[in-house]
Structure 1
């Protein structure tokens, strides 16, 4: 299996590539859109893992050109700041999956190798712990962040219009935007 990893965080890319290589998945890496498209045209990968934020660019705009290079390419969009609005937009544009960042090599391998069984056919045997995700509630600050991001999308990124839409003062919104939510913490004793 060949893959393309696209992210402007080169340390994350290198670590993920090494981990995937140990699992038998060859990957090329790209830190920007132009390099990603060049590599994809040259190697026609089976899948592409694309970060939503590529510097000032959006990984969303890579979905269509990657699909044009190889129609059956599996495109997985990842982001550290997931929002409902961007998830919907990614799926509308043709992404196959939308995942929170960081994605581990184990998780990525499981997603890539998981094939849908034929209708009526039994699925592969799995341990119970493989089929259940750890139940964690989404923290309130993360939900608020997603709501703000959706409002920003609806107003075309206009801070003043977003503040009016959300019924808050512009400076309060700017303070909230300056405080990006961190990764979710697992409950104690959850691994």
Structure 2
């Protein structure tokens, strides 16, 4: 009777990468392949949901901001279809509210861009940055800056429709126009 080899290669992870930025998506796919992942890329949530069943992903990296769908919708759909999938949300528009939404919907981590392949790999493995590693200096934005960024995000989500954005924010349309006409606060 042959005994099993004690050193076995780890199971290959099937990673679904969903980002509308083609250059970033393809560079990340190459980097993750080097780290032992079998990768499949998709430019949109709809395409990802179309391709996912045949691929059977065990992990996914999902961009939050995509033209047709919000990445959070995809997080929820992937977790429903693949209950054990590990989902990491990437965004250039980080906020506490969307981070909480992502985690509530089942994301394992929420990273702001630019996130390098090593950091994404660590997140997929469930590792957090070392406590001993120096944290980068982050300047806390002012309340005015946070408000301006929030208005810009809602405006974008509403297709740049001022009236609809004002209704969503619960403020007068003219007040919103005045706030948007100002330059963004520096910090």
User: Is this contact kept in 1: 2:18–2:60, CA < 8 A?
Assistant: yes
Shift of 1:175: 3.2
Equivalent of 2:139, from 137, 140, 152? 137
Asked if residue 112 in structure 1 is aligned to residue 124 in structure 2, the reply is: yes
Equivalent of 2:171, from 154, 164, 169? 164
Answer with 1 or 2: which has the greater Rg: 2
| Structure 1 residue ranges (4+ consecutive) displaced by more than 6 angstroms after TM superposition | 149-153
Aligned runs of 1:1-191 on 2, under 5 Å? Answer: 1-114=13-126, 128-129=132-133, 132-140=134-142, 143-148=146-151, 158-161=164-167, 162=169, 164=171, 169-175=175-181
- Aligned counterparts of 1:174 and 1:75: Cα–Cα separation in 2: 34
Q: Decide whether aligned partners of structure 1 residues 37 and 159 sit closer, same or farther in structure 2, where only a CA change above 3 A counts.
A: closer
TM-score by length of 1: 0.71
Structure 1, unmatched stretches of 5+, are: 117-125, 185-191
SS at match of 1:169: helix
SS at match of 1:55: coil
Structure 2, unmatched stretches of 5+, are: 1-12, 158-162
Q: Decide whether aligned partners of structure 1 residues 147 and 55 sit closer, same or farther in structure 2, where only a CA change above 3 A counts.
A: closer
User: Is this contact kept in 2: 1:3–1:48, CA < 8 A?
Assistant: yes
SS at match of 1:160: helix
Q: Decide whether aligned partners of structure 1 residues 150 and 85 sit closer, same or farther in structure 2, where only a CA change above 3 A counts.
A: farther
